[in-house]
Structure 1
């Protein structure tokens, strides 16, 4: 192999490695998920997607973000636990939930049909948080739970609208505890966002010259 061909192969290899690294950074969970300001500093496009959901659905940013943290820890390819036959034979997953929002397949398809967003992907943050905005809005319409009530919203998200109406969560003390954790995280996110949201609203060009 001559030097010219070898150089081209090396250049191509570097491009492949760089592309993979960029892709990995884009989908990696935020380094500081307990602070919403740090999340949006690292992934500013997430702020704009969340703000679009707020404007479109009337859903405050801190509620779906707190719910998403609980559901997937912001992992784009998150999957539910495995199911086991006879207690030890791997047998698929406990549900069809997938992605940032852990939306189940049937519910995701309802979202796609109702919104006309047929190309939406559960592993895309923008689509996933829009799905959550849609779900939170339907929860408000169907069960009268405020869009600002992370506790009640998470119970609906986990149990479904019918399950919430039947109060199935009362048989699941762990779920009630988890929903309270989601509520506390949402309130913490809300307080944090008040201290930094103006920076994200201005955008990078403003911050470059005036930040």
Structure 2
């Protein structure tokens, strides 16, 4: 019996070390609660801030909007005739909701071939890389949550064309991301 117990304990231990539970922290409106519950998030956010200059609160607000901090988030399925699943709306996956092609570009350019979208450190590094390219190519400051989010959502080419201007819902969401970023920044000052 003890061999069986040890084997079961090893399996459970190995399973607990996986890529993430997929679940979100409990209080998504409280930045201090998020980083207390998941200290690895704060380590990842700060590492990205040091490396790329993207503030922690900007990263947090973007991840909230993209995945609600769910490591294995995916876009909804599309259905033919309302019932037959025909695939996902896009290839977006993970904390950052990075598309396959953009993630592969990130892996090539950074040399991080083993990076995964469902690991918080890799997802925040991706966001820092992407937002830095937005700053370098389009001049959007790393502290400008609203416009960084619009460029993140639409892609840099779409942002440069102003494609978001024909999407009132996206302009509203970008305003919400900006407000959440401000809220997280204020909360983080008091943690």
Does residue 120 of structure 2 align to residue 125 of structure 1? yes
Give the match for residue 54 of structure 1. 49
CA radius of gyration, larger in:
1
User: Which consecutive residues of structure 2, in runs of 5 or more, have no partner in the other structure?
Assistant: none
Q: What's the CA shift string for 1:95-118, capped at 9, x where partnerless? A: 111111000011011111111111
Aligned counterpart in structure 2 of residue 112 of structure 1, from 107, 110, 113: 107
Give the match for residue 202 of structure 1. none
CA drift at 1:41: 0.9
Does residue 179 of structure 2 align to residue 184 of structure 1? yes
Does residue 7 of structure 2 align to residue 12 of structure 1? yes
* TM-score of the two chains, using structure 1 as the length reference: 0.84
Aligned counterpart in structure 1 of residue 133 of structure 2, from 116, 135, 138: 138
RMSD value, Cα: 1.8
Give the match for residue 77 of structure 2. 82
Give the match for residue 32 of structure 2. 37
CA drift at 1:153: 0.8
CA drift at 1:87: 4.2
Give the match for residue 101 of structure 1. 96
Distance 1:65 1:135, change over 3 A: same
Q: What's the CA shift string for 1:112-135, capped at 9, x where partnerless? A: 111111111111100000000011
Partners in 2 of 1:27 and 1:43 — Cα distance? Answer: 13
* TM-score of the two chains, using structure 2 as the length reference: 0.92
